[in-house]
Amino acid sequence: MNENSHLPARLVLPDSQNASFDPAAIVQLLGKAADFLQQVARVAVVVIERFTVWAEQEERRYERGVVRRACLRRRQWKVSDVKRLEALPNCPLSSAQRLKLTSSNKRGRPVVPQYRSLTQLLVERVRIVKALHGADTAPHARIKALKQTGLLGGVAEALYRGCYAAAKSHGHRAPSAQAEIQAATLLTVSAATLRKLCAQVRRARRIDGDPMGPALPAAEYRQWLKTGGDTPGG
C-alpha cells in the first residue's frame, strides 16, 4: 500500500478550454469535490485526535513532575505550603500531614512554587519570548522578561566584560568597580547580584568546558533594549 494512501487525493478540475460544462459534468464535479472534502475532514479528525492524546500525555507527565519536585522538599514544607500543596493535581498532602503542618511552628516563605498548568506555562513562555524579541516592547518590560529566563547570567557576564573593556580603555583607575556599577545599573540589579551571576556563569563554563563568548558593549545592549531582536550575550 502506498504510504501516502491515507491522504486525500488531489482534486482534478476539467480543462475549461476543452470541456463543455453541461449539467451532468457539473454534478459529477460537485460530487468529486464533496468526496475530496470528506477525505480532508477524515484526515483532520485523525490529526486532532492524535494531537489531543499527545497533549493529554504531556499534561499528565508535567503534573507528575510538579508533584515529584514538591515531594522532594517534603522535609522543608511549612504552614504556608499547605494551600499550594492542596492546589496541586493529585495532592500529595495527607490528612495527617496537613494537621501536623498546620499545628506546627514551621513558619516562613513557602518552598513549593505556585502551581501553574502546562497550558498556563506555555502561554507565559510565549509572552516572555515576545517581550524579549518584539520591536514594540518597552525597555523596562524587556529587562523584566530577561530576568524571567535563564539568559540573564550570560547577558550579565558578557555585559560586565564589555563595560570593563570600555572602562579600561578610558583609563579608569578601577575599571572592575566601574564595570560592575555600569552593568548592574543597565540590568537594574545590585552589584552583589551581578557578581553572583558572573560567578555562576564562569563556574559553569569551567565545568562544561565552554568557550568564552564575545563581550557585550553597553551601546549594543542599549540598542537591543530599544529595538529587540536576538538576545545579545545570551
Written as tens digits, the pLDDT of the chain (234 aa) is 454 545 555 555 555 555 555 677 777 788 888 888 888 888 888 888 888 888 888 889 999 999 999 999 888 898 998 999 998 988 888 888 888 888 888 888 999 999 988 888 888 989 999 999 999 999 999 999 999 988 999 999 999 999 999 999 999 999 999 999 999 999 999 999 999 999 999 999 888 888 888 999 999 999 999 998 888 866
Distance CA 217, CA 223 (A): 10
Q: Which amino acid is at 111?
A: V
pLDDT score at 157: 95
Distance CA 185, CA 178 (A): 11
pLDDT score at 234: 60
Distance CA 132, CA 44 (A): 34
pLDDT score at 196: 96
For residues 137 and 143, the answer to whether their CB atoms sit within 8 Å is no
> Taking the complete model, does pTM exceed 0.85, yes or no?
no
Distance CA 86, CA 134 (A): 37
pLDDT score at 18: 52
Q: What DSSP state is assigned to residue 76?
A: G
pLDDT score at 1: 47
